Amino acid sequence: MPDVEQTTLTIGGDRVFLNHSGDGKSEAILFLHGSGPGATGFSNWQFAVPALGKQFHCLAPDLIGFGKSEHPQNPVKTIGGWMDLWVKQSIALLDEMKISQAHLAGNSMGGAIALHLLNRYPDRFKKVVFLGSIGTPHKITHQLDFLWGFYENPTAERMAQIIRWFAYNPAIIGGDLDGIAQMRLKAALDEGVRRSFSAMFPAPRQKVIDDLVVPIESIQRMKHPSLLVHGRDDVFVPLETSMYLLQHLPKVQLHVFGQCSHWIMIEYKDAFNRVISDFLEGKS
């Protein structure tokens, strides 16, 4: 299995930390991570990037405001402003890597970014995978509100609760939840990470959900072959978001994992990697 290489680039004056594998493969996948405190490209895609690197050139950056990528000293205060940064970062990364078209995979908030990329730059993308995606109209869940409000009380216990919610069966991600929580807490309490995250998700957080919504008319114009993947028991992003996209995306299919919460690519890593590999290679 290809190793995951890690590189720090300067793109458009911004620092971008990149996890990548499969360099030189003819087709590329841009992986966009979700919004948990302490989330990074590697934490979300640690199993997908090396596995799919056998077939594709896999790129999994830390989004601006996350991980080891740029943390603006004076961050924008609206999610729309952050979305503009992430869309710009994604296209600039493809340009830097000289990739004219790529497949796209977005998890949770990364799915919302994928929708905005398809809306603004449709010609830069081929097939698209959405994992438990937001970007659709729905009521915020208690668990997502709790997650986005993490810095109101940033403790190891609160982080441990978040980690338990991510997986339907916490044993899948290892028995030492407190240890995992401590590692994520350390990442989350980095000064830059905390500053960025606090600017992204102010209360009332239902407004953040609403401001990320892509208009239905735009979704209906997206002709890209799309695969929706969702955990039936996802407590952060309800299955209804994928059902909404299933109703309105023209070329679409849906794969639902039972006994699965929000971390599909970790809880069911082997099955997930097969599903998206088959989809991208035209076998499903």
For position 94, what pLDDT does the model report?
A: 98
Distance CA 169, CA 194 (A): 28
pLDDT reading at 192 higher than 70: yes
Q: Cβ atoms within 10 A of the Cβ of 46, count?
A: 17
Write down the domain spans for the chain.
5-280
Mean pLDDT of the residues in the chain: 95
CA atoms within 13 A on the CB side of 212: 30
User: Which member of 57, 234, 242, 261 is catalytic?
Assistant: 234
Distance CA 227, CA 251 (A): 9
Name the pairing type of β-strands 14-21 and 57-61: antiparallel
For position 211, what pLDDT does the model report?
A: 98
For position 200, what pLDDT does the model report?
A: 97
For position 177, what pLDDT does the model report?
A: 65
pLDDT reading at 146 higher than 90: yes
Quick: pLDDT tens for 242-275.
999 999 999 999 999 999 999 999 999 999 999 9
With beta carbons less than 8 A apart as the criterion, state whether 205 and 140 touch.
yes
Nearest to 103 by CA among 270, 276, 284: 276
Whether 103 is a known active-site residue: answer no
pLDDT reading at 21 higher than 90: yes
Whether 262 is a known active-site residue: answer yes
User: Which member of 108, 133, 242, 261 is catalytic?
Assistant: 108
How much is the average pLDDT of 203-207? 97
DSSP letter at 63 equals P
pLDDT reading at 30 higher than 90: yes
pTM: 0.96
For position 171, what pLDDT does the model report?
A: 79
Does residue 238 have a cis peptide bond before it, meaning omega lies within 30 degrees of 0?
no
With beta carbons less than 8 A apart as the criterion, state whether 268 and 260 touch.
yes
For position 183, what pLDDT does the model report?
A: 83
Quick: pLDDT tens for 158-189.
998 998 899 898 877 665 667 777 888 999 99
Quick: pLDDT tens for 214-235.
999 999 999 999 999 999 999 9
For position 32, what pLDDT does the model report?
A: 98
pLDDT reading at 1 higher than 90: no
Quick: pLDDT tens for 66-109.
999 999 999 999 999 999 999 999 999 999 999 999 999 999 99
Q: Which run of H or E residues covers position 170?
A: none
User: Which member of 33, 57, 71, 262 is catalytic?
Assistant: 262
pLDDT reading at 133 higher than 70: yes
Distance CA 48, CA 32 (A): 12
How much is the average pLDDT of 139-162? 95
For position 176, what pLDDT does the model report?
A: 62
Q: Give me the DSSP letters along 215-239.
A: PHHHHHT--S-EEEEEETT-SSS-T
For position 87, what pLDDT does the model report?
A: 98
For position 184, what pLDDT does the model report?
A: 86
With beta carbons less than 8 A apart as the criterion, state whether 111 and 133 touch.
yes
Helical segments of the chain, H only: 41-45, 48-52, 79-96, 109-120, 142-148, 156-166, 177-188, 191-200, 206-212, 216-220, 240-248, 264-267, 269-280
Geometric angle at alpha carbon 133, from 38 and 146, rounded to 5°: 45
The separation between CA 5 and the C-alpha centre of its own chain, rounded to angstroms, equals 19
Q: CATH topology for 5-280?
A: Rossmann fold (3.40.50)
Distance of CA 278 to CAs 19, 34, 179, 264, 283, Å?
23, 23, 35, 16, 5
For position 86, what pLDDT does the model report?
A: 98
Whether 133 is a known active-site residue: answer no
